[in-house]
Amino acid sequence: MDLKLMIWLVVGATFALYIGIAIWARAGSTGEFYVAGKGVNPVANGMATAADWMSAASFISMAGLIAFLGYSGSVYLMGWTGGYVLMALLLAPYLRKFGKFTVPQFVGDRFYSNTARIVAVICLLVISITYVIGQMRGVGIAFSRFLEVDLLWGLIAGMTVVFIYAVLGGMKGITYTQIAQYVVMIFAYTVPAIFISLQLTGHFLPQTGLGGTLSGQDGVYLLTALDNVLVDLGFTQYTTNESFSTLNMFLLTMALMIGTAGLPHVIIRFFTVPRVRDARKSAGWALVFIALLYTTAPAVGAMAMYNIINTLHPGGVGNTAEAMAYEDRPDWMRTWQDTGLLQFEQQGDGERVHYYNQSNPPAWADDVEGQGYRLESFDRDILVLANPEIAGLPNWVIALVAAGGIAAALSTAAGLLLAISSAISHDLLKSVFMPNISEKNELRAGRLAMVAAIVLAGYLGLNPPGFAAEVVALAFGLAASSLFPVLMLGIFYKRMNKQGAITGMLVGILSTLLYIFLYKGFFFFPGTALLADNADGWILGIAPQGFGTIGAILNVIAAVVVSKLTAPPPKEIQDLVESVRVPRADAATS
């Protein structure tokens, strides 16, 4: 069957499944719209949480980062995985025991202040809007390539699908849709990885294939061969590449960890289970489901990079006479060139394609300057989607990956949009400005807020500030600097009062936003950055993606100092905090 037709059928079938589930699980009350009626099974919730958490950055972008950064790319793997463990152990059970729908509701009640609630809503909106830009980029990339449509139409198609199942079904519909999306996603990620691992190393499991030897090359390990070929091309060894300084490696890892633990759209998932102990169970199951993809990603990155180089230099690196002819480039290169995400630069009248590091070219590079075309750019976000085509896998596998990439972006986008919707309708309208609003009108307001958020997300997704994982890293930094400290201090520091919470959130979010705007521009619009976004221009050498850690430190310092200088919270609030932390309280709530 023709590849394009196969992709249309597979992607269309998954869309029909998502919409069908949304209709079946239509929310009829605010409880079902916000927290799925608190009736989701822990295993199902763990699967939905994994889909919610593993966004386009995880599915589409992370393996590409690892492929082109090598060792340094592991910072994303460590930060996101460690952050989920941190959230599951230190936040999820206590927030579920507190029993509120949303993060701003917890902040408002714990710090007995509508002002604190409003500040938390503002932080949540900034985080979620930044995060959803990365998801929209993932949707656009997947559609623009596999359905061969313009980026604008790809975004419109994705926005339409999210609109139907998120606005109609609310959290109940999103939960069961995300279960289906997780199944699609994990099959789409692991099936091609298994095929490629068998091709290159003979290992069925990509995780063991990564450390295995190449088939037909006795005793030559995959990573050793990849190290050697990259050095021959003028690049740093794959297994020792240090693209980040030690300082930025630490700051970015920490920002991703504590940012993960402060993500509102993931935290809200722990309110959808019946009991506190179910929140703990679902956290454990989610980690199992997440590990299936995250332990596969390093193998995908390394094997894809090895296949790309051997596609460009089938006669061996430095063998210019047998390098790939430009006119003979495979179909996947031609179609990705049409999207603008893969580009070649003509350097002479020759016909061969060459790939090497311009800043540190190998000795043979002088011989090829006038002999054809050079691979100028390979967008990291296309690697996973192009991976099965690079390896020559069957059309049905390519179509499955297309459906998986779209599912990854849509699942997280839906969770983010619901967090935005609930923040506006429940935390602002119901809790602050219109306390007497009826449930029906609150539900209507939530759906209207979600529609507005979908339109805004699509608009911003047309002009993202970078590749998906970079944009998501900025959102994690914002979460790290604003919500994570106030949640942790709210649970574990009884002396924390409303003045401290408000001051801390404002200091954290504003300092981090200011730093991002200096180097990325105002709301990420090109040409508005005031300083050069490189190591020489960064203040004290701190990258914008890692500044969330600094923002979190400033948040904690400001919150604690102000709390010490002002009156302690009322006794009933301190007693409430104590009861949330006491294990035996679980018996009463389970």
Residue 515 falls within a domain, yes or no? Answer: no
Residue 565 falls within a domain, yes or no? Answer: no
Residue 538 falls within a domain, yes or no? Answer: no
Cα 107 from Cα 87, distance rounded (Å): 17
Percent of the residues in the chain that have a pLDDT greater than 90, as a whole number:
21
pLDDT digits (tens, 9 = 90+) for 151-210: 777 778 777 777 776 666 566 667 778 888 888 889 999 999 999 999 999 999 999 999
Highest mean pLDDT: which range of 51-60, 68-77, 226-235, 332-341: 226-235
Question: Does 448 have pLDDT greater than 90?
Answer: no
Q: Which residues contact 571 (CB under 8 A, 6 or more apart)?
A: none
Cα 480 from Cα 491, distance rounded (Å): 16
Contact predicate 362/318, CB 8 Å: yes
Which residue in 534, 422, 369 sits closest to 101, CA to CA? 422
pLDDT digits (tens, 9 = 90+) for 239-281: 887 777 888 889 999 998 998 877 777 777 777 777 777 877 8
Highest mean pLDDT: which range of 100-109, 557-566, 570-579: 557-566
Which residue in 588, 573, 590, 583 sits closest to 106, CA to CA? 573
The count of other CB atoms within 10 Å of the CB of residue 408 is: 32
Average pLDDT over residues 505-512: 96
Residue 32 falls within a domain, yes or no? Answer: yes
Residue 280 falls within a domain, yes or no? Answer: yes
Cα distance from N-terminal residue to C-terminal residue, the chain? 53
**Hey, what are 469's tokens?**
């994982």
Residue 93 falls within a domain, yes or no? Answer: yes
Summary mean pLDDT of the chain: 82
Q: Which residues contact 114 (CB under 8 A, 6 or more apart)?
A: 108, 431, 432
More confident: 361 or 142:
361
Question: Does 431 have pLDDT greater than 70?
Answer: yes
For position 119, what pLDDT does the model report? 94
Sorting pLDDT into bands at 50, 70 and 90, what band is 583? low
Number of domains in the chain: 1
For position 587, what pLDDT does the model report? 42
For position 453, what pLDDT does the model report? 80
CATH of residue 25: 1.20.1730.10
Contact predicate 154/140, CB 8 Å: yes
Sorting pLDDT into bands at 50, 70 and 90, what band is 586? very low
Q: Which residues contact 76 (CB under 8 A, 6 or more apart)?
A: 57, 62, 65, 66, 256, 469, 473
Which residue in 179, 137, 252 sits closest to 18, CA to CA? 179
**Residue 454 belongs to what domain range?**
3-302+390-476
Q: Which residue type does 248 have?
A: N
Residue 286 falls within a domain, yes or no? Answer: yes
Half-sphere exposure of 121 (CA within 13 A, CB side): 21
State phi, psi for 101 to the nearest 5 degrees. -70, -45
Residue 367 falls within a domain, yes or no? Answer: no
Q: Which residues contact 244 (CB under 8 A, 6 or more apart)?
A: 72, 75, 252, 543
SS (H, E, C) 524-549: HCCCCCCCCCCCCCCHHHCCHHHHHH
Q: Which residue type does 490 have?
A: G
Contact predicate 581/94, CB 8 Å: yes
Cα 275 from Cα 97, distance rounded (Å): 8
The count of other CB atoms within 10 Å of the CB of residue 371 is: 18
